[in-house]
Amino acid sequence: MNAINWSDWRIPDGKALDLSRLPTLPKASSETDKLQWPARMTVLAEELNRLQAMLYASKTRGLLLVLQGMDTSGKDGCIRTVFAHISPLGVRAEAFGVPQALEQRHDFLWRIHGKTPALGEMVIFNRSHYEDVLVPVVKGQIKHAECEKRWHHIRHFESLLSDSGIAIVKCYLHISKDEQKKRLQARLDDPLKHWKVQASDFEDRRHWRAYMHAYAQAIQATSSDTSPWFVVPADSKAYRDLMVAELLVHTLQSMTLCMPRPTLDVRDFKMK
């Protein structure tokens, strides 16, 4: 299959963004390419497992993967698939919902900072601090000036993480409104998925354009060299997962990780 051109999907710092102009399906994927995706995913899973083991052993760097997207864009599914064959040691997934009473009495980043990765860890955020520059904006709970302040604080917060050795990969899972309709209906039709159905899913759908605008503004205001945003076409679940896995492998490879030196000389030991 053709290599992914990251420049097609990476959002440059400060560039005006119109999500409606970006595809929600991979560009010109042939049937031959699609048939190769499972094999490629297997190779990536093995490499991701190897690199994660080195990350955990070396404890010199950390990695934060931020997954954002509208309901049914596949955050849960992406986590299950991409991390299916990775040792749970040193890997955490954190989900962020509506702030609770205690969290609301603190600054909006208070609940986030304690969940960030330590050196040696890989942490996945299923939703994140970006919820606080999306939902309150669409619902009219904060004004644009306050939102701009929050973007500013996010950039500094992520810069602090980067300076502390944490690589940040932010993925917006870009799903179309039509595809969301199909997936919501599938949840309604499957009793095993009824627990996932929330009234907010249908309420948010009524404000689709407002959310697209809020996402576009947040992404263009907070994408940087050290914590870039990538728009991942998510109407295809297989390609979505493949692209996130490719991105993680690429990021970990760029860290030039290595195993730490042993604390003793193994030549001094023999099995009896």
pLDDT of the residue at 268: 73
How many domains does the chain contain in total? 1
| Structure confidence by residue, pLDDT tens digits, 28-60 | 666 667 888 999 999 999 999 999 999 999 999
CB 49 within 8 A of CB 85: yes
270 in any annotated domain: no
pLDDT of the residue at 203: 87
Which residues are CB-contacts of 22 (< 8 A; sequence separation ≥ 6)? 174, 231, 233
264 in any annotated domain: no
The pLDDT-based confidence of 80 (bands split at 50, 70, 90) is: very high
Sheet with strand 91-95: strands edge to edge: 10-11, 229-233, 166-174, 62-69, 122-126, 91-95
The pLDDT-based confidence of 125 (bands split at 50, 70, 90) is: very high
pLDDT of the residue at 21: 92
The pLDDT-based confidence of 26 (bands split at 50, 70, 90) is: confident
39 in any annotated domain: yes
Lowest mean pLDDT among 6-15, 18-27, 85-94: 6-15
Alpha helix ranges (H) inside the chain: 31-58, 75-82, 101-104, 110-113, 135-138, 144-163, 177-189, 199-206, 208-222, 237-254
Q: What is the mean pLDDT of residues 83-96?
A: 94
CA atoms within 13 A on the CB side of 46: 5
Note the Cα 52 to chain centre separation in Å: 16
pLDDT of the residue at 2: 53
Tell me, what amino acid is at 85? H
- State the average pLDDT for the chain: 92
The domain of 68 spans 6-257
Identify the CATH number of the domain in which residue 190 sits: 3.40.50.300
pLDDT of the residue at 187: 92
CB 215 within 8 A of CB 208: no
CB 245 within 8 A of CB 45: yes
User: Regarding predicted confidence, which is higher, 203 or 112?
Assistant: 112
269 in any annotated domain: no
| Structure confidence by residue, pLDDT tens digits, 192-223 | 889 888 888 888 899 999 999 999 999 999 99
pLDDT of the residue at 184: 94
The pLDDT-based confidence of 14 (bands split at 50, 70, 90) is: confident
Lowest mean pLDDT among 2-6, 43-47, 107-111, 250-254: 2-6
Angle 125-2-229 (CA atoms, 0-180°, nearest 5)? 30
29 in any annotated domain: yes
62 in any annotated domain: yes
pLDDT of the residue at 190: 92
pLDDT of the residue at 183: 95
Q: What is the mean pLDDT of residues 181-185?
A: 95
Q: 68 pairs with which residues across the strands?
A: 172
Q: What are the angstrom distances between the C-alpha of 189 and each of 163, 194, 205, 244?
A: 47, 8, 18, 28
CB 230 within 8 A of CB 223: no
60 in any annotated domain: yes
| Rounded Cα gap, residues 244 and 68, in angstroms | 12
18 in any annotated domain: yes
Q: 69 pairs with which residues across the strands?
A: 173
pLDDT of the residue at 3: 58
